[in-house]
Structure 1
Amino acid sequence: MASTEADSSNATTANTENATSKIIKIQSNDGQIFEIDQGVVEQSSTIKTLSDLMDVGEVPIPLPNVKASILGPIVEFCNHHKNDPKPEPLDDDDDDDPNKDIYEPKRSDDIIEWDQNFIKQFTVAEGTLFDIIMAANYLGIKTLLAVGCKTIANMVRGKSSSEVREMFNISYDPPGEGLNAPNAIEGQAGTVPTTQDANATGPSPQPDPMNQ
């Protein structure tokens, strides 16, 4: 009996190792190929779905929305987290909330140190922080998406609207200036957008009775 249990345990271990050691290739939109194992695949709903649908073999899975400079760090992130235990459902008053995500950090201080150091290599100034967030969303990697979004939330916490605009380089016309100036508004009033060529023959656009 003991021998049978030992054989069963060894078979389970072997199956687990085979699943982890299975290598799949993925390709960035600029042609770079990365090799990942099943532990990484399981963290991306997009890659997992594509690998299930495609007879991959030696053919890499194309990821047209992710460039190599972003895909490489994402593979690093997933390799670091592939042996993490699965998150437990949160036990609070919002258990029935369908929009609640068990992967989302609840506070700014619950992003682990490794993840904090990882996300620091991406910046708003270079646009890479948004690149990593968009790629995580496209690939369906909820743990990385949560870290990226929480990082943005921490950056804007306590900042004024003008500080946030400056931080993210968001242009803004104050009331009475730029596109919000009275003369700009008056100039736009009563106009009828048209793609008709001024030299083309045919009836002209009819005036809008509401503006008469």
Structure 2
Amino acid sequence: MSSVPPSYRGHWYPVEVLSHCAKFGQAYANGLRRRRPRPGGKWHLDEVFIKISGVQKYLWRAVDQDGNVLDILVQNRRDEAAARRFFRRLMKKTRSVPRVIVTDKLRSYGAAHGEVMHSVEHSSHKGLNNRAENSHQPTRQRERAMKGFRSVGAAQRFLSTFSGISPHLRPHRHLMTASQHRAEMTIRLAIWDQITSAASQPTTA
């Protein structure tokens, strides 16, 4: 049975879906990620601060040129060691190396790039990184709605699930006509039904 209510008319947001599938959320997100094409060759990286129990942490995010979220990581700092850790995690998780990375002017990126991705082109310019910055907006909305996160682990788990499901159920509506949007959502909801049905099946010993 689908986790999306039959009354869906294109106005449900992924977090509302997540509230109905908290038990299987990560499995759903993993299933959707496996169906995505390989990431593009241009990666946009950015970091923003978030408050966890009143303490400032940093959320690192990477998206490709199509806006697909490649990975997120909550860390205590945004220094060279943190950037290096994120670079290595990205390449391990995606099993690929980009053609170019785009970041803001944070010096930690340049230092880590020289050590971990020295063969990759690096563009550092505030105005070039809007794609990664825009990708933070849904997270900010959830952070406000949830009145912050209670622990690093809880934030990492929720945001990992959220970033896996949210893009699937939120296509770029502003780039589509109404009929195109309906057709696209029909396809995406059919995929969602397949993912949720498979993930919710009881496992046998």
Whose strand proportion is higher, 1 or 2? 2
TM-score (norm 2): 0.24
Q: Which has the higher contact order (CA 8 A, sep 6+)?
A: 2
Larger radius of gyration: 1
